[in-house]
Structure 1
Amino acid sequence: MAEEESRLEERLIVNEEEGDEDLKKRVWEETKKIWRVAFPGILARATNFGNIIITQAVIGHVSALDLAAFALVQSLTVRFVNGIVLGMSSATETLCGQAFGAGQHHMMGIYLQRSWIVNLITVTILLPIFIFAGPIFVALGQEKEIANVSEIISLWLIPLSYCFVFSLTIQMYLQAQLKNMIVAWLSVISFLVQIFLSWLLVIKLELGIPGAIGSLILSNFFIVLGEFVYLLFGGCPLSWKGFTWDAFSQLWPVIKLSVSSGVMLCLELWYNSVLVLIAGYMENATVAISAFSICLNASAWELMICIGFLGAACVRIANELGRGNAKAIRFSIKVNLATSIVFGLVFFTICLIFGDEIGYLFTSDQDVVNMVSELSILLALTMLLNSIQPVLTGIAIGAGLQSTVAIINLVCYYVIGIPVGLLLGYFTNLQVKGVWIGMVCGVAMQIICLSILIWRTNWDDQVVKASQRLNRWLKPIDLS
């Protein structure tokens, strides 16, 4: 009896060790799959956003007024339009990711071209926001001096909005088929070009705003040109079959998914924009807008890294939905979240340690630097939340749940976050701190709601829905 019990214990130990080894192997394999998508995405988005940071930094060292004007345009006008294009482009990510997982490679190029059509029309409709930026800012109650400079900057940024149409959609198309490393390298080169051009045009030639914005436009168009060269000259032989009239068919389903995607991400990106607008009504508006924008951009740069995990979550969920593997989806969610949170904790710590120095990276104005320092603790907390929220959003995008997330964003940000920010900002002595606390409350509530949504999602049902959608839109391969 004792011998049998001993053998039983030995078998249990062996099985447990084998289970641990199997789990470690699965985690390692999933981690490799995540990083294959996340690393190029992180590199691309961090350097792309770095172009904005460089532009803001060189403008900030020209004058505080120009910095406030650029912050207003970048945080409101550009973020508004970019939010719409980015959101609508996420439909490309959902459709291409699921098509790739299902082996419907030829449909990916068609989905990409449909997105171009929808997004080009959308950006053209939104042009008046750039053209009439000055009067719009004045109507919103911003200082006239800041609004006048903002109008000049907005007109310069019109080409950038059209650049977004192609750069974002192609990046998501390539990412869905695990070929986004080319985008990462193009973005790194673009970042170096931006540094050189900013130094040459702004510091050396002293061209001011035209030099700063001009270098931003040129560096971004470099990425688009490189993507088209890769696409048209054989980089994606399975998924790119050339331009086709099929792109103009079945646009309505793409429009519906694009609109729900656009609303989802716009509500998220506009949230920060509204808070910048609120900061413009505070005492000493120039300092308030500048400091708030600097903190948001520092947070957004870390967010670019976490958005790499958003892309990884989206691709992994979409691919596995296309393959019909619900079990792999659940495991991928756990590994992706754990990895991203580790990065959030690192940035949380860095921000607490170097919070007093962040402002000097963007401006030499001591008042702005001091206000940034006061916001550093809230900034650190935001960094931590940023490591969780994008992954949850990526999971929803991969599953095509954008419309549900749009409702969550609307409630958490605009029913909870902004009202709390207004109350604390205007009816207490917290001022800008109060606005930021409201922002944190909205994001925290969004994370809770998204966690519940994902926890309660039946992934076996989502597999069936994805299969039905892909088969409904499938076009036979033209062998002629």
Structure 2
Amino acid sequence: MSSPTDFDRDSVRIHAPSRNNRAPIDESFFEAECNHRTTNNENFFESEENRRTTTNESFFKAEGSGAGGKRPVYRTFSENTSTHPDFPISRVFTDADPFVISSEKSSSKGKYPKEEIFNEETPLIPNNGSGGRRPDEHVSWKRETQDIGRDTLPLILAALLECSLSTASIIAVGRLGTNELGAASVASMLANFTGYMIYYGLTSALDILCVREFDNGMHHLVSVHFQRMLYLLLIVTVPIIVLWSFAEQILPRILSDKEVAILAGRYLRIIAWGTPGFALFESGKRYIQAQGLYSASPYVLGICAPVNALLNWILVWKCGLGFVGAPIALTITDWLLPLTLFSYVYFGSHDDCWDGFTRRALKNWGPMMRIAIVNVAAVESESLVYGVTTLASSYIGTQALAAQTVLVTVTNIIWQVPYSLSVSTRARVSNLLVLGLGDAAWKACKVATSVAFGVGSLYLILLSLLRYPIAKILSRESEVIELVAQVMPLCATAHFVECLVLGVSGILCGISKQSEAGYLQTGMFAVVALPLEFGLAFGLGWSVWGLWIGALSGFCAILAAQCLFLYQTSWEKVVQQASESLSADSS
């Protein structure tokens, strides 16, 4: 574009006489016109500049006086809009140079945050001798507890509702008789160990991969990871369906009670047809949670859980189907879950990452498989402890099996709370490390451990005080109720230690040590828990007591190994590795 002083002679010639009455050209006319336009343009821009400067100065003076004359009010941007991981802070812009950046974590009581002046020579990463962390990085225990609680509560609600799906079946058939209660418990245990826990372990890889890509702004990669997991789950589902379909012929060769074995096999054969739906829901749930939408699962399960309970009541009792009505209800619910989740996301426009199906999801499965296999090993080892105790109790006697069924059912319900805390801790610590907030991440670790200790203590008290009412809910047999009440305090102690184990496990996964956490958990269960369970229960004849003493010993060994590993871990190296990982992902 030409400057205001440029002169276009053609534009002036239009004022000359017409062609028919053309007069001699007067050069002085053009010079006078040019000078006239130049003078007018210069005067215009000078007056405009003065007007804007005067207006801006008046504005800031007015704003400053309106705020008590201390400082003007500037427009700030929240820390979510920060474009650099080392500076998740508000940005304050003025017309002057250098500009001012102030921390969003300002204190109340009329004090303003400490300001730092940045100019062209300021390095992007501050050299403050603390691994890139800012000296004003302070997070209170109250704030961190609120943040972790805000993320954990929806997960707890969703986990409890999801756990209620199988619990409703056990309660529905538990009042049919001791054999039906034992068969439903054995079938649920085998379904968890050979199916559902595999899905949990595999999809938990999305908690790491999708969350990391979403925090880095790589939304299209979140969709790619989700598609890879879908394909993997569909492949894994095929052998699960085959195994459960023949459970009615396999279990009588394993369990001592043939009637319980046949009923359990029939239960598995029916629910096998709902596994594809459950796989779709579990992967979709992790995909949505990675985008920060933790409320989707409670909404979906809040609809499906009551429907499942109603179906159990109708099919088991109202229609007279008896025992087989429970697995039919669960199968219908397993397919209702993904349909409801899809409807919630699609019609609510809650998905920000879906980029369509792509062939890119068919390759480069290595990172996902490495994380998924370790997670499967970790959750399977914990599931194996309770699964083996249930199978082992069937060799002790029918009453022991029924009592163990009640204890394991309670375990599955209350396990959801510390597990949800572990998931939220993993995401919270990882996110803070990605942002370069090492001190805040360490504070989050301490808060999560304290919350886990509080939850475990609450379990220890409540289960010990309410052992008789809990036993009466799940069984009518007086001998079973008495045995459950005797073992419940030991079971509560094991859960107290397990809460701490899950809390520390979430920290290890948050600092990208999920492989080490999986190896520690699997190794200690195999070396300590299982041998003690069989040795005490059958070698010394301690029955159900021996099974739970072995489980408690295994949890104590895992907790000791985890604490020792964390003690030997350098936090400075953890922060540095998180920064290097972010730089590698960005490049």
| Distance of 1:265 and 1:101 partners within structure 2 | 26
- Cα distance, 1:25–1:399 mapped onto 2, change above 3 Å: closer
Matched residue, 1:314: 426
Matched residue, 1:397: 509
Aligned to 2:412, which of 300, 309, 312?
300
Letter in 1 for 2:273: P
Aligned to 1:457, which of 547, 558, 569?
569
1:68 aligns with 2:191: no
Cα drift, residue 325 of structure 1: 2.8
Decide whether the 8 Å contact of 2:425 with 2:445 is kept in 1.
yes
SS in 2 for 1:130: helix
Matched residue, 1:266: 380
Letter in 1 for 2:260: I
- After superposition, give the CA deviation of every residue in 1:293-351 in whole Å (9 maximum; x if it has no partner): 21011122111111120121111122223323322221111111212321221221111
Aligned to 2:322, which of 204, 208, 227?
208
Cα drift, residue 274 of structure 1: 1.4
Greater share of helix: 1
Letter in 2 for 1:405: A
Aligned to 2:296, which of 144, 165, 182?
182
SS in 1 for 2:395: coil
Matched residue, 2:129: none
Decide whether the 8 Å contact of 2:156 with 2:416 is kept in 1.
yes
Structure 1 stretch displaced more, 320-329 or 340-349: 320-329
| Distance of 2:452 and 2:320 partners within structure 1 | 41
Aligned to 2:206, which of 81, 92, 110?
92
- After superposition, give the CA deviation of every residue in 1:217-242 in whole Å (9 maximum; x if it has no partner): 23333322122223444644432223
Cα drift, residue 352 of structure 1: 1.0
Aligned to 1:244, which of 355, 358, 365?
358
- After superposition, give the CA deviation of every residue in 1:218-268 in whole Å (9 maximum; x if it has no partner): 333332212222344464443222332222121232122211221122112
Aligned to 2:549, which of 421, 437, 441?
437
Greater relative CO (CA pairs within 8 A, separation 6+): 1
Cα drift, residue 202 of structure 1: 1.5
- Cα distance, 1:151–1:469 mapped onto 2, change above 3 Å: farther
| Distance of 2:174 and 2:354 partners within structure 1 | 43
| Distance of 1:113 and 1:473 partners within structure 2 | 20
- After superposition, give the CA deviation of every residue in 1:116-165 in whole Å (9 maximum; x if it has no partner): 11122112133332122234323334322221111111111113322332
| Distance of 2:146 and 2:478 partners within structure 1 | 45
- Cα distance, 1:94–1:133 mapped onto 2, change above 3 Å: same
Decide whether the 8 Å contact of 1:37 with 1:311 is kept in 2.
no
| Distance of 2:558 and 2:537 partners within structure 1 | 21
SS in 2 for 1:157: helix
- Cα distance, 1:231–1:463 mapped onto 2, change above 3 Å: farther
| Distance of 1:195 and 1:306 partners within structure 2 | 25
Matched residue, 2:487: 375
Matched residue, 2:243: 129
SS in 2 for 1:129: helix
Letter in 2 for 1:67: L
Question: Unaligned stretches of 5+ in structure 2?
Answer: 1-135
Matched residue, 1:384: 496
Structure 1 stretch displaced more, 419-428 or 173-182: 173-182
Letter in 1 for 2:227: Q
Cα drift, residue 178 of structure 1: 2.0
- After superposition, give the CA deviation of every residue in 1:451-475 in whole Å (9 maximum; x if it has no partner): 222333334444554566667677x
- Cα distance, 1:64–1:237 mapped onto 2, change above 3 Å: closer
Matched residue, 2:90: none
Decide whether the 8 Å contact of 1:72 with 1:276 is kept in 2.
yes
| Distance of 1:141 and 1:215 partners within structure 2 | 25
Instruction: Give the TM-score of the pair, scaled to structure 2.
Output: 0.73
Letter in 2 for 1:149: L
Cα drift, residue 402 of structure 1: 2.8
Cα drift, residue 439 of structure 1: 0.6
- After superposition, give the CA deviation of every residue in 1:45-84 in whole Å (9 maximum; x if it has no partner): 0111012111101111112212111111111233331111
1:417 aligns with 2:529: yes
Decide whether the 8 Å contact of 1:80 with 1:270 is kept in 2.
no
Cα drift, residue 389 of structure 1: 1.8
1:81 aligns with 2:190: no
1:407 aligns with 2:519: yes
1:116 aligns with 2:234: no
Decide whether the 8 Å contact of 1:99 with 1:322 is kept in 2.
no
SS in 2 for 1:201: helix
- Cα distance, 1:243–1:32 mapped onto 2, change above 3 Å: farther
- Cα distance, 1:467–1:258 mapped onto 2, change above 3 Å: farther
Aligned sequence identity (%): 22
Q: Considering only aligned residues, what root-mean-square deviation do their CA atoms show, in Å?
A: 2.4
Matched residue, 2:287: 173
1:346 aligns with 2:461: no
Matched residue, 1:323: 435
Decide whether the 8 Å contact of 2:226 with 2:287 is kept in 1.
yes
- Cα distance, 1:127–1:461 mapped onto 2, change above 3 Å: farther
Aligned to 1:29, which of 126, 134, 143?
143
Structure 1 stretch displaced more, 435-444 or 169-178: 169-178
Cα drift, residue 359 of structure 1: 1.6
Aligned to 2:395, which of 281, 286, 300?
281
Aligned to 1:140, which of 239, 254, 257?
254
Decide whether the 8 Å contact of 1:40 with 1:181 is kept in 2.
yes
